[in-house]
A and B are shown apart, each in its own frame.
Chain A
Amino acid sequence: MKALTQLLFALLAVIALQPWSSAFAADAAGTIKTSRGDAHILRNDTRLPAQVGSTLSTSDRIITGATGAVGITLKDNTRLTAGPNTTLDLNTFRFDKTTHKGALDATVQRGSLAVISGKIAKASPDGVQFHTPTVTLGVRGTEFIIEAGVQ
C-alpha cells in the first residue's frame, strides 16, 4: 500500500514537472489567419507548413516564396503580414492579458511586412520594436509597412 502511494506521488510529481511546451501551446504568441503560396515556419531547424490555424511561438521564423504571404494575429491583436520573398523572425513576445503590458520584437531579414499594432503598443509603447538589417523602428500605435532589401 505504501509502495503504491509512493508510486502515485512519483507519478503526480512527473506530471506536475512536465514543461508546458510540447502538448500545450500555452506560450503561443499568435495564430496564422491567412496563408498564400509557398509559406512555412522554421522552428528549431524544422520546416513546418504555415497553415491557417497554425500557432506561432517566440523564436519562430516565417519564410515565404515568390508567391507567398502569411497573415498572423498575435495574442495582443497585433497583426503582422509577411509578403512575398520574406524572412521574418519573431524574436520576443510577452503579453499580460490583464494589464496589456508586454514586449514585441521582430526582424524583417528580407522582404516586406505590414504591421497593424495591437494592445502592447498602447500599454507599453517602448516595448514594441521592429528591425531590418539597417534600421530599428519604435512604434506609437499605428499601421505601417517595412520593406527590407528594396529591389
Chain B
Amino acid sequence: MWGALLIPIVAWQIVELFTPEEIPDTVADKVILLPDADGSVGEVVVRSATGEQTLSSAYGALEVTASGTLESTTETAASVRAAYGNVLDAQPPEPVSLTVYFEAGSSTELTATSLQTIDRLKAVLADRPAPEILVIGHTDTVGDLEDNDSLSRARAQTVVDVISATGVDAASLEASGRGERELLVPTADKVSEPRNRRVEINIR
C-alpha cells in the first residue's frame, strides 16, 4: 500500500528534473504613450515578432521581452518624469504660427491688434534655439492679380524687416507672397476683407 503511494511522487520528481530550466526572458524594450500637450491621447500600435498591441490611454505602457512578448503596464506622470525627465527637458519648443493683419491697401500699416502679435513674435524669437522662419504674405481681392502679388510680397517684407531688426540669429528666414491666391475667407473679386489682408509667420 505504501509502495503504491510512493510511485507517483517519484515519477513527478523525475518529470521535474527533466523539465528544462526556464530561460530568463528579460524586458528588452519599453513603449509609453503620453497625453498630447492639449490633453488628448492618440494611439501607438506596437508589433513584435509574436504579437501586436495598441496603446490608447495616457501613460499606458508596454514592456517587450527579448523574445517579443508584450506585457501591458501603467506609468504615471510622476514615474515618467522620474525616469525620462532628462529626455523630456531636452525637447525642442513647439512650432508656432502667428498671423498679422494689414490696413486696406497698405504694405506697412498693421492693424492695432496685430502690433500686439508683433510683440508676441519678438518674444517667441527671443528664446527659440535656431529658429526656422517662414513668412507668407496675402491680400484681399481688391485690385488686380499682379498688383496683389506685389502687395503681398511687400507685406511679407515688412514682417521680415521687423524680424531682422530684432537681431535674431535665424537658422533660416524665407519669405514669399501669395497675392489673392490663398484667401483665408473666400470672397468674390474686388471685395475688401480684413481677414484676407494678412501675413502668416511660421516659426519652427
Please tell me if the beta carbons of B90 and A70 are within 8 angstroms of each other in the complex: yes
Evaluate whether A145 and B90 lie within 8 angstroms (CB atoms) in the complex, with A73-B95, A137-B46 already known.
no
Please tell me if the beta carbons of A81 and B92 are within 8 angstroms of each other in the complex: yes
Stretch at the interface among B5-13, B36-44, B118-126, B146-154: B36-44
How far, in whole Å, are A142 and B63 apart by their CA atoms in the complex?
A: 19
Check if A87 is an interface residue, CB within 8 A of chain B: no
Check if B4 is an interface residue, CB within 8 A of chain A: no
Please tell me if the beta carbons of B49 and A134 are within 8 angstroms of each other in the complex: yes
A60: min CB distance to chain B, Å: 16
Q: Which residues of B contact A79 (CB under 8 A)?
A: 91-92, 94
Check if B135 is an interface residue, CB within 8 A of chain A: no
Please tell me if the beta carbons of B46 and A77 are within 8 angstroms of each other in the complex: no
Check if A141 is an interface residue, CB within 8 A of chain B: yes
Stretch at the interface among A5-13, A15-23, A29-37, A40-48: A29-37
Q: Which residues of A contact B89 (CB under 8 A)?
A: 69
Q: Which positions 70-124 of chain B face chain A at CB distance < 8 Å?
A: 70, 80, 84, 86-95
Determine the residue in chain B with the shortest Cβ distance to A36.
B90
Q: Which residues of A contact B63 (CB under 8 A)?
A: 150
Tally inter-chain residue pairs, CB-CB below 8 A: 148
Q: Count of chain B residues with Cβ under 8 Å from any Cβ of A?
A: 44
Q: Which residues of A contact B173 (CB under 8 A)?
A: none
Q: Identify the 10 closest CB pairs spanning chains A and B, nearest first.
A: A142-B42, A33-B92, A83-B87, A69-B90, A140-B43, A53-B130, A138-B45, A143-B34, A71-B92, A132-B29
A–B complex contacts, Cβ < 8 Å, 18 sampled: A31-B132, A36-B90, A52-B130, A53-B129, A53-B130, A72-B92, A73-B95, A73-B204, A77-B204, A81-B88, A113-B87, A114-B84, A135-B31, A142-B33, A143-B35, A143-B42, A150-B27, A150-B28
Q: Can you name 13 extra interface pairs (CB under 8 A) apart from A71-B90, A135-B68, A145-B31?
A: A53-B129, A83-B84, A114-B91, A116-B94, A132-B64, A134-B48, A135-B31, A135-B46, A138-B45, A139-B42, A140-B43, A143-B34, A144-B31
